[in-house]
Structure 1
Amino acid sequence: MTTKEKIIKYIEKRGSVSAKEIIDYVEISKQATFLHLKGLIEGGLISKVGTPPNVFYIPSQKKDIKNHINFSGDVEKIINDNFLFITSMGEAKEGIDGFISWCNRNNLNPIKTSMEYKKTLEKYNKYRLKSGLIDGTDKIKTSFKEVYLDRVFYVDFYAIERFGKTKLGQLLLYSKQSQDKKMIKNLSLIIKDKIDVLIKEYEIDAVCFIPPTVKREVQFMKELEKNLKLSIKKINIIKIKSDIVVPQKTLNKIEDRIENAEKTFYINDNGGHRNVLIIDDAVGSGATLNVVGEKIKKANINKGKIIGLAITGSYKGFDVISEV
């Protein structure tokens, strides 16, 4: 039996083991053990969960998946491009691997469900423009008497029927909750091209990022700004702090969200811009984007268009997305 086979059998027998336990069991050097573990993970034969110093290795079903299920070429590509499953252990499984795991957890036939997933995505993709963005302008116009944004887009829906949160929706939720810089960078890379296209199409020369309300060691929007590296001017938005922090996501009424945004956001900029892009993480009511657009317009900071962009948005109107 090879060392790799010994490691696999040991992990399968124990369920979850630490690197130290594996090193003691196989009786080889630490460096050699980690090389074996890396190869086994890359080959889909085991999985790694946790973060240092609490990292454990567990069995993986990826090998069985590929041997027993064959998807048609177009369906496989759709799943690999769009599907992400975050397990209860916090393991991110993308594409076919994640789809099979999700089907197994829900006792679903993977082949039949894959066709349903394809049809569901086709339904939602009807709302996409050629750029790949989703136009939410008409929906925000039905939510507010006065709209100060010329156009509103989001990169993806936050969730879709039956299958739940989209890949981008999950990356947004878990990267914020876990304050995971690597996950935020991954999300940034996914949306970067679409933002560049938007900037070019609308001749954007200034951008502003909606600042966070809740204090975190790793702030999502700060990391996003750093990762995007946009070569245009930045408009500073200041979030005014109060004695009691009231995040927008905790407010269910649109009126309360509007009041919250009106009284807590301040624009600090000398103006002179043409077209401005406002970037937010998730569109719920759309109140924050619209109020910031109003403040920019009334302060005569720009002379052209104001475009709003959210990473994710609700499919049914601008329902409150309370998780992020």
Structure 2
Amino acid sequence: MKTNTANKILDYLTKQGPIKANDIIQYLQISPQATFKQLKNLYSKNLITKSGTPPKVFYQIAKTKLKPPNINLPKKIDETYLIISPEGELLEGTQGFGYFCNKNNLNINKTADEYLNTLKKYDKFKNNGLIDGMSKLKKTFKNIYLDEIYYLDFYSIERFGKTKLGNLVLYAKQSQNKALIYKIYQLIKEKISNLIKEKHIDAIAFIPPTIPRKIQFQKELEKLLTLKIPKFNIVKILNQIPIAQKTLNKLEDRIENVETTIFIDDKKSYKNILLIDDAVGSGATLNETAKKIREKNLVKANLIGLALVGSFKGFDIINEI
């Protein structure tokens, strides 16, 4: 039951749009404590939303949330579908798929069949949860320095856009969101563990980032995985102007970028080394890093690359990550 004060707040927000708490306090002419109590109650009931962090927090009327469709969709959709709305709401499974169909005026049953058929096309490339990327690499580079390269999933698929893992990697990096990084960790930990066992990996290296961030995606992932094998040290040297790989459209520029910014800071050799990157577009970063390791004779057997997500086509650029 809404109090008279709560109704006044809702009416005021409806008329005035997004406003700060101080504006509401002045309008109601009551104490800040009483105002925040009312705001907290309305927020807990999903009647209002708030954006920002103190002291810049704006309150507004909550948009009508899309209810999950009253329909039974195949379990595969619950397992694989995820979308993030323009306002930043993470919607999974049936709820997310219903949102996608509703927003695009699509028949949900027909679209579900089309989505599952599209997944079947891409699932053909997977073997034990891994996508072999060597054929893509061979089409792109004259010299290959990796013995094997895998993705855990494609970054995006036709018509339906980014995959579940693709969405999570993109927004985890962009928002520096630890909760999303943890969600990724839960999805990938078993696959990485199995790959390490199967390929007898005895050292692991994470490709370092180019752009400085308070929360670095690869560092957080490395901490969560807590792998019980030695870490092989690779460093990224930032020049006067840091240039991210995603901003370079030519393959030769991407190769040059790696040649002049990534260096091997390790002297110990290992039998099998696993290089992990968040995403593979062209494959230049992993391939050129492998070249530098080989030039120092620090691998005795196999150099294996692993990307969380990769592109479907040959030379391709994932500009968003």
* TM-score for the superposition, normalised by structure 2: 0.85
Deviations 1:76-116 (A, max 9, x none): x1111111111111111111111111111111111211111
* Residue of structure 2 equivalent to 1:190: 187
* Residue of structure 2 equivalent to 1:149: 146
- Map residues 4-43 of structure 1 onto 2, 5 A cutoff: 14=14
Deviations 1:163-188 (A, max 9, x none): 01111111111111111122112112
Mapped to 2, the partners of 1:207 and 1:117 lie a distance apart of: 36
* Residue of structure 2 equivalent to 1:58: 62
Decide whether the 8 Å contact of 1:18 with 1:55 is kept in 2. Answer: yes
Decide whether the 8 Å contact of 1:204 with 1:277 is kept in 2. Answer: yes
The 3-state SS of whatever aligns with 1:187 is helix
Mapped to 2, the partners of 1:49 and 1:71 lie a distance apart of: 33
Decide whether the 8 Å contact of 1:283 with 1:318 is kept in 2. Answer: no
Decide whether the 8 Å contact of 1:17 with 1:58 is kept in 2. Answer: no
- Mean Cα displacement is larger for which, 49-58 or 186-195? 49-58
- In structure 2, runs of 5+ residues without a counterpart are none
Mapped to 1, the partners of 2:189 and 2:110 lie a distance apart of: 33
Cα drift, residue 308 of structure 1: 0.2
Deviations 1:174-231 (A, max 9, x none): 1111111221121122111111111010011111111111111211111111121111
Decide whether the 8 Å contact of 1:271 with 1:300 is kept in 2. Answer: no
Rate the CA distance shift 1:319–1:238 in 2: closer, same or farther, 3 A: same
1:203 aligned residue (197, 200, 204): 200
* Residue of structure 1 equivalent to 2:115: 117
- Mean Cα displacement is larger for which, 282-291 or 47-56? 47-56
**1:224 matches 2:221:** yes
Cα drift, residue 233 of structure 1: 0.7
1:215 aligned residue (212, 232, 235): 212
Letter of the 1:110 counterpart: I
Letter of the 1:306 counterpart: L
Rate the CA distance shift 1:267–1:96 in 2: closer, same or farther, 3 A: same
Letter of the 1:188 counterpart: Y
Letter of the 1:71 counterpart: N
Mapped to 2, the partners of 1:31 and 1:120 lie a distance apart of: 49
Mapped to 1, the partners of 2:234 and 2:152 lie a distance apart of: 22
* Residue of structure 2 equivalent to 1:79: 77
Cα drift, residue 71 of structure 1: 2.6
1:179 aligned residue (152, 171, 176): 176
Letter of the 1:204 counterpart: I
Rate the CA distance shift 1:33–1:80 in 2: closer, same or farther, 3 A: farther
* Count of aligned pairs: 306
* Residue of structure 1 equivalent to 2:280: 283
The 3-state SS of whatever aligns with 1:305 is strand
Rate the CA distance shift 1:60–1:155 in 2: closer, same or farther, 3 A: farther
The 3-state SS of whatever aligns with 1:238 is strand
The 3-state SS of whatever aligns with 1:279 is strand
The 3-state SS of whatever aligns with 2:140 is coil
Cα drift, residue 58 of structure 1: 2.0
Decide whether the 8 Å contact of 2:277 with 2:308 is kept in 1. Answer: yes
Cα drift, residue 33 of structure 1: 8.0
Rate the CA distance shift 1:241–1:33 in 2: closer, same or farther, 3 A: closer
Rate the CA distance shift 1:58–1:277 in 2: closer, same or farther, 3 A: same
Decide whether the 8 Å contact of 1:71 with 1:111 is kept in 2. Answer: no
Cα drift, residue 318 of structure 1: 3.6
- In structure 1, runs of 5+ residues without a counterpart are none
Cα drift, residue 32 of structure 1: 10
Decide whether the 8 Å contact of 1:85 with 1:94 is kept in 2. Answer: yes
- The higher radius of gyration belongs to 2
Mapped to 1, the partners of 2:50 and 2:122 lie a distance apart of: 33
Letter of the 1:58 counterpart: A
Rate the CA distance shift 1:47–1:271 in 2: closer, same or farther, 3 A: farther
Mapped to 1, the partners of 2:191 and 2:91 lie a distance apart of: 24
Cα drift, residue 122 of structure 1: 0.9
The 3-state SS of whatever aligns with 1:114 is helix
Deviations 1:33-86 (A, max 9, x none): 868865x56xxxx796645443757244444x34xx3134xx2x1111111111
